[in-house]
Amino acid sequence: MPALRAGAAAGLAALLLASDLVLLTLFLNPQVTLRGDARALLTSLLLPWTAIALPGLWLVVAVSSALPGWPRAARPPLEALPGVTTAALLALSAAAALFWLSLVSYRHSVPVEVLSPLAGSAVALTAAALVLLAVGIDAVLFPSRGRGVSAALVVLAASSAVVVPLALRPSPVARPTPVPFATETVTPARRVILVGIDGLSLGQIREGVARGGLPVFGQMMRRGAHGPLATLRPTEAPPIWTSIFTGRLPRDHGVKSFATYRLRGSSTVYEL
């Protein structure tokens, strides 16, 4: 395969992956408007991620076309760009994995109305990747079959990977009102001291007590109650401890990560 066509196929796939990463950023930061931050998203995310993904995808396309034992079709789905199906499959697989990972990791941080569209986008990306996989398998197993339908499926799968998440994203959500911290007004019947240890599991404490190396902790465990503390994922200290002190999830108290950031050319605060 000529290097120029391999570069074009890899470039389209890299642009596809970068577009999905921009959309993922919009899902995780629902207060951001595409119209207001379009230039910042283009210069700070879309173009850099395209440039980062391009060499790796080009290498995959070039190597797959040069290896003698690599399965390939006599008539690729898109004959003008023979490697675009492989490159797009890798790009959509990576994008789908990132969407699913973000959904699981930040389900307690993003607003509730964003969860269903984010899950729908992850499903759409997974379905698009499976369509490309099926097209590739069909091209290898049945090399003499016509490619009219396969070419249409490749174009449809690649375009839907951007169009569907963009359509599913809800309207920009305003920042939630800060929740005032209020303590109980009643007088407690007895004094309770809560000791939380960051970075040390209950199993490690039990092992230290059993060896006799933590006598104070051993006395506290015998005289009081103890147990593992439930946590959130990802395990970042600011949102977790804020949730412990306020009794609210990160989407409600507003502390979602270690730090916030801004894209060059934008005044919008990004939290995830």
Considering the domain boundaries, does residue 7 fall inside one? yes
Considering the domain boundaries, does residue 267 fall inside one? no
Alpha carbon distance 14, 4 (integer Å)? 15
pLDDT above 70 covers a percentage of the chain that reads 88
Considering the domain boundaries, does residue 63 fall inside one? yes
Considering the domain boundaries, does residue 109 fall inside one? yes
The answer to whether 250 and 109 have CB atoms below 8 angstroms apart is yes
- Report pTM: 0.82
The domain total for the chain is 1
Q: For residue 80, give Cα distances in angstroms to 10, 77, 159.
A: 13, 9, 18
What is the chain's alpha carbon radius of gyration, rounded to the nearest angstrom?
Answer: 25
pLDDT above 90 covers a percentage of the chain that reads 36
Considering the domain boundaries, does residue 43 fall inside one? yes
Considering the domain boundaries, does residue 235 fall inside one? no
Considering the domain boundaries, does residue 173 fall inside one? no
Considering the domain boundaries, does residue 70 fall inside one? yes
pLDDT in tens, 161-189: 999 999 999 887 666 665 565 556 667 67
Give 66 or 270, the one with higher predicted confidence: 270
Q: Which residue segment(s) compose the domain that 10 sits in?
A: 3-168
Q: For residue 107, give Cα distances in angstroms to 48, 113, 154.
A: 27, 11, 31
What is the residue-averaged pLDDT of the chain?
Answer: 84
Query: In DSSP terms, which residues pair with 270 in a beta bridge?
Result: 261
Quickly state the pLDDT bin for 156 (edges 50, 70, 90). very high
Determine the pLDDT at residue 224: 82
Quickly state the pLDDT bin for 39 (edges 50, 70, 90). very high
